[in-house]
Amino acid sequence: MVAFAKPAIVAALITAGGVWIGVAPDAHDSAPRQAMHMQARPRLDATSDAQARQMRGAVNALARQTGAGARCNPNEPSARYRPCVVPALRHAGIGGRMGATVLNVVIGRVPFGACREYLLGLRAAMEGAGQDARWLLPQLYEAGRRRAQHEVSTQIELIVRMLHHAATAASADVCSPGADAPAL
């Protein structure tokens, strides 16, 4: 058994030494890796356009759902105000985080340019909406609820404006194939 171990150790040392010295693999081994690298480069295509349009729709839907809470009257007693506003805050909290997570995947497949910047803005708005809503929800149950209700209403209006602004920050075709192509 010792006789078999010595050639294995020598082979491992030679392999490790070749890696350490920087011996390159055969030319035919590197060609497929270069081809794979070229294929993995992100580009705008019909999928990126469709995903961007879907995410724009998701941001607008989240703004509508959250906007329902902005119509709640903060002068109402807490027993009426909370049931009106809590669903909107839950939509913003959960939907914002979920949307930002989905956008992370979409952004990873888009090259640098106007489309990527637009998607980054959508992600920031979704994440901001989620964080704000998760911060506002517990305030409804603390002392001084009447003041908190007015603050919650004001913040919900700001969340809705932020989402609308992010959704309309670029034209609908910002992620269409060829949108980032240089001008001739």
Residue-wise pLDDT for 63-121, tens only, equals: 999 999 999 999 999 999 999 999 999 999 999 999 999 999 999 888 888 999 999 99
Domain that holds residue 140: 43-167
Note the pLDDT of residue 74. Answer: 93
Whether residue 26 lies inside any domain: the answer is: no
Whether residue 162 lies inside any domain: the answer is: yes
Note the pLDDT of residue 30. Answer: 53
Whether residue 173 lies inside any domain: the answer is: no
Whether residue 94 lies inside any domain: the answer is: yes
For the segment 28-76, what is each residue's pLDDT rounded down to a tens digit?
Answer: 555 555 554 445 566 777 888 899 999 999 999 999 999 999 999 999 9
Whether residue 115 lies inside any domain: the answer is: yes
Average pLDDT over residues 16-26: 48
Whether residue 130 lies inside any domain: the answer is: yes
Note the pLDDT of residue 173. Answer: 87
The total of structural domains in the chain comes to 1
Note the pLDDT of residue 127. Answer: 96
Whether residue 96 lies inside any domain: the answer is: yes
The model carries a pTM of 0.71
Whether residue 139 lies inside any domain: the answer is: yes
Question: CA 66, CA 122: separation in Å to the nearest integer?
Answer: 16
